[in-house]
Structure 1
Amino acid sequence: MFLGLDIGTSSVKAALFDGKDFRTVKTFYANGADQKVLDTSILREAIVSVCQKLWTELNVSPQEIEGIGLSGHGPSIVFIDQDGKELSPLVTWQDNRAEQEARELATLIPGFSKDGTSYEAKLLWFHRHENQYFEKGCTALYPKDYLLYLLCGKRVVDSSTASTFAFYARTEKKWNEAYVPVPCSVLPDIVDSWVETGKTGTPFSKLCGFSDTTPLFPGGIDAYCGAVGAGAVQEGIVVEETGTSACLSRCFSSRKGHDDHVLPTLSLTMQVISLSGGAFEWFSNLMGKTDMRAWQEAVDPARPEALLFLPYLIGERSPIWDKKASGAFLGLRDTTSDQALFQAVMQGTAFSLYQNILILEKDSSTIEEVRMVGGGSKDAKWSQMKANITGKTYLAMQETNAAATGAALVAAFGSGSLTLEQIPSLVPVSARFEPDKQAHELYIRLFRQYEAAYGNLASIMHALSDIQEEIRQ
């Protein structure tokens, strides 16, 4: 039996894999979700809580677990000192305080085009503003690497995650010190995602209830482990993982992809949308409703609303990488209802996904189908709408907590209990959504306007962002 633990934006998830089936549990953070900064004590409490659910709700004995794989969100960062004490809270991927540093890095590192949410820019910001975090023995860790440290005391980052950093030399598998704008000593050692890195036995692992000497595998970023959880271990498979944000990945059977996969001989190209499922929560709160079922039931995926919604509520990463981009509704009339606005949110987030699918197609051949995981894959109306908008077949995977299940599969692979070829058969499809050609033609007319909207509104968005900043000051 193998365990996957996933550090999410709003919760910690655990998935047990017994060689055939998966069972999952989750614990939400105590003081709410989707924060830019999370107190590490809240994270630790959620990890302990989800482990307790393993032993009680799933009736599993710690001795049964043969390996633990890890997954988590990023680019996020937490600093620990030489004794392992937390120096900082967990600063998540949503935090964009390092915008100035990102602009500077673009002049120092060839090809660097990321914004202030990036790991590289965050490192430089903290070096300038919290220089004590870079004293001898201090380390900057991703959330899942922080968890690995808590469980076994090792300070590492997996090679898949490292391959997303601009100062990682991918061929040599080491840090390119010429591009690192801070002391290299703060960076953890690099190990492969599927290689046993340590064993449980720390006070924290005992608090979680684990037996000593359980092997630990570093896994990778949630979207990369989620690709494994959806069976993306073969050339060309595309996965959409939608929760608060959304990630689209395409698997390659060589190093043609932009980043290394969490399993050997594979690579990935990844596109990230800052806010996808989170846009629905925002709209529901705006309308003063906690239950969206009535809106969802009234949607006909084959009948578009002639409204546009730009989902840039916290800026955007792909395809525009613009911190100052902001959300917008276009096409409002005095007859527009909340139902119509809700459907516009569905359409706008799906249009954003389609934009990124088109980018993935530029890297290789035409995409025929998309595998869905994450909370968004449970919405049949939205899934059918995505199929209609993109003209692609959408497949909802049976197990939606793909990051945690993927981490468990990485541990099983690393232990030698399964092969790459066996993974696709372990992650079955639960539903299939075929595109409606007539609806697709209507949606494409709207999509063309969606594509044009950002370019026409960007200068206004930027001006409003600057005025908002002046008012806050």
Structure 2
Amino acid sequence: MSSYVIGVDLGTSSVKVLLMNPEGKVCKEISKSYPLIQEKHGFSEQDPEEWVEKTTEAIKKLVDEFDGEAADIKGISFSGQMHGLVLLDKDRIPLRHAILWNDTRTTEQCKQIYDLVGEKTLLEIAKNPALEGFTLPKLLWVKEHEPETFEQGEVFLLPKDYLRYKMTGHLHSEYSDAAGTLLLNVAEKKWSEEICEKVGVNVDLCPPLVESNECVGEIDQYFAEATGLMSTTKVFAGGADNACGAIGSAILSEGTTLCSIGTSGVVLSYEESGERELEGGVHYFNHGKENAYYTMGVTLAAGYSLEWFKDTFAKDEDFEQLLVNLDEVPIGARGLMFTPYIVGERTPHADANIRGSFIGIDASHSKAEFTRAVVEGITFSLNESIEIFREAGKTIETVISIGGGAKNEEWLQIQADIFNAKIVKLASEQGPAVGAAMLAAYGLGWFNSIEECAAVFTSQEETYEPIPDNVKKYNEYYRIYKRIYSQTRELNESLSELR
């Protein structure tokens, strides 16, 4: 009899459900989408029940189309969009829509956190600056603007933790997602009573904490009947999407680095401890691997910049068509440069008002040059995170590339040349959902360690070495790229007031 695990990746626009066997093969994949709710400028919310409904539909479809028996599916675990606030009342019912990671209404609350906690203290404890995307500013926004709702709050959960609660009836969070709230003492792996007290949030609002690979229960009878899963299916805590992406890409030891280009772009590097001093220049989170950490820089609109460009200027083309002639345009797109700040930026410029630019437009430029400029601009932005890591003493010689940036050979070579590092493409890449499935496989005892699991579930397909002449040319363009932010910031602030 074969055994299987399910990895659930609860994303911003859809949920992906993977069925995997002990050999690391993806046997079935189902996705279901759900909408954003954006009632005002800067607001981004979702109905938590949509996550539950669409995940239920996806798992039911997977089980119905599965050749084996439901009893063969032994475990399930989760990856989820980070930072989202799901506030529950005493009956564990959501008091309002979830406020998501890409919601930017909380600039004032970020200032309040610095005033109440102090920037130095916040970085010492939570390891991250106060940014609009994090959970604590959202809690404070609800406290200020919806006080009656806040007063009814009994506990808050992160998105995937609410989904898991609805499957099991048990309330938990785990360290990798909790690290994105600004309420966790990252190094000590416990909720910070000091931060809670200073900002006026009862520490009892914070859920119990467990390890990512810990079994937190079994599927309850209602969810079993709705999906076709057995009520004996073990449920494991899972991790934040980036932590699971790291696990699914074997970023599990010192010196390994990941570049993930999805809607946002992430450069993530493994850390043995929570002690590296980066002064808030990049994010510092707990890993899904026990007693490990990762540092991470974020480009808010990485793949989204390319999607915006395609939808606006090449609506009838798919991405493959759009990028097909990328290698025919020379480095630097014949003097055309793009900054991917179309929804603001995160690393190294935490700026909600900055907006994107095309610099150097010439009448001779065609769509091909604009396309290459967008790809190079996204990669330049990601390189700013790599530069921060290197300046902090990290050696980055090899980068695993996943997501949209790993689907085009020329873009992989561009990454190698701009990062000045060997780029590795994985043989099979499903991102965070695979990491979630691996946590279930490890939790079930199929492997003695998460590293042993990764050796089976991941393998390298191709590598791309930096070309010295290209590296030299890109260094010249990169120096210009880094000047654009400071030289357009004031203009964008003025435009933001008029927008």
Q: TM-score range by the shorter chain?
A: over 0.9
Among residues 75, 82, 95, which one is paired with 2:83 in the alignment? 75
Amino acid at match of 1:397: L
Superposed, 1:163-178 pairs within 5 Å as 163-178=179-194
Aligned to 2:126: none
Q: Deviations over 1:67-92 (max 9, x none)?
A: 21111111212222222322222322
Distance 2:459 2:424 in 1: 10
Among residues 285, 288, 312, which one is paired with 2:311 in the alignment? 285
Q: Does 1:19 align with 2:22?
A: yes
Aligned to 1:233: 252
**Contact 2:438/2:454 (8 A) holds in 1:** no
Number of positions where the alignment pairs a residue of Structure 1 with one of Structure 2: 468
**Contact 2:217/2:234 (8 A) holds in 1:** yes
Higher mean C-alpha displacement, 100-109 vs 252-261: 252-261
Residues 176 and 87 (structure 1 numbering): CA distance in 2 closer, same or farther, change over 3 Å? same
Residues 209 and 300 (structure 1 numbering): CA distance in 2 closer, same or farther, change over 3 Å? same
Amino acid at match of 1:10: S
Q: Deviations over 1:284-342 (max 9, x none)?
A: 12115142333311111782112111101111111111111111110012222222111
Shift in Å, 1:47: 0.6
Superposed, 1:385-400 pairs within 5 Å as 385-400=414-429
**Contact 1:22/1:405 (8 A) holds in 2:** no
Residues 240 and 268 (structure 1 numbering): CA distance in 2 closer, same or farther, change over 3 Å? same
Q: Deviations over 1:417-445 (max 9, x none)?
A: 21133134220012222222212211211
**Contact 1:11/1:33 (8 A) holds in 2:** no
Residues 331 and 443 (structure 1 numbering): CA distance in 2 closer, same or farther, change over 3 Å? same
Higher mean C-alpha displacement, 235-244 vs 174-183: 174-183
Among residues 442, 466, 470, which one is paired with 2:497 in the alignment? 466
Shift in Å, 1:139: 2.2
Higher mean C-alpha displacement, 450-459 vs 426-435: 426-435
Distance 2:383 2:117 in 1: 30
Q: Tell me the SS of whatever aligns to 2:301.
A: coil
Paired-residue identity, %: 29
Higher mean C-alpha displacement, 60-69 vs 223-232: 60-69
TM-score by length of 1: 0.93
Aligned to 1:207: 226
Distance 1:59 1:394 in 2: 37
Shift in Å, 1:30: 4.3
Aligned to 1:9: 12
Distance 1:60 1:130 in 2: 49
Distance 1:19 1:275 in 2: 35
Residues 301 and 366 (structure 1 numbering): CA distance in 2 closer, same or farther, change over 3 Å? farther
**Contact 2:268/2:295 (8 A) holds in 1:** yes
Q: Does 1:84 align with 2:81?
A: no
Runs of 5+ unmatched residues, structure 2:
123-128, 277-283
Amino acid at match of 2:19: L
Shift in Å, 1:218: 1.3
Q: Tell me the SS of whatever aligns to 2:93.
A: coil
Q: Tell me the SS of whatever aligns to 2:324.
A: helix
Aligned to 2:242: 223
Runs of 5+ unmatched residues, structure 1:
469-473
The 4+ residue runs of structure 1 with deviation greater than 6 A are 32-35
Q: Does 1:373 align with 2:373?
A: no
Residues 376 and 163 (structure 1 numbering): CA distance in 2 closer, same or farther, change over 3 Å? same
Shift in Å, 1:15: 2.3
Residues 265 and 172 (structure 1 numbering): CA distance in 2 closer, same or farther, change over 3 Å? closer
Higher mean C-alpha displacement, 8-17 vs 285-294: 285-294
Residues 280 and 57 (structure 1 numbering): CA distance in 2 closer, same or farther, change over 3 Å? farther
Distance 2:303 2:228 in 1: 33
Residues 33 and 331 (structure 1 numbering): CA distance in 2 closer, same or farther, change over 3 Å? farther
Higher mean C-alpha displacement, 78-87 vs 437-446: 78-87
**Contact 1:139/1:187 (8 A) holds in 2:** yes
**Contact 2:339/2:357 (8 A) holds in 1:** yes
Amino acid at match of 2:451: E
Distance 2:222 2:151 in 1: 25
Q: Does 1:331 align with 2:357?
A: no
Aligned to 1:144: 160
Q: Deviations over 1:195-242 (max 9, x none)?
A: 111211152343232211322111111011110000111111101122
RMSD: 2.2
Aligned to 1:153: 169
Distance 1:351 1:33 in 2: 31
Amino acid at match of 2:55: I
Aligned to 1:471: none
Residues 59 and 137 (structure 1 numbering): CA distance in 2 closer, same or farther, change over 3 Å? farther
Distance 1:30 1:273 in 2: 23
Distance 1:19 1:167 in 2: 36
Q: Does 1:444 align with 2:488?
A: no
Q: Deviations over 1:167-188 (max 9, x none)?
A: 3224543322231222333221
Superposed, 1:181-196 pairs within 5 Å as 181=199, 182-196=201-215
Shift in Å, 1:40: 2.7
Aligned to 2:138: 122
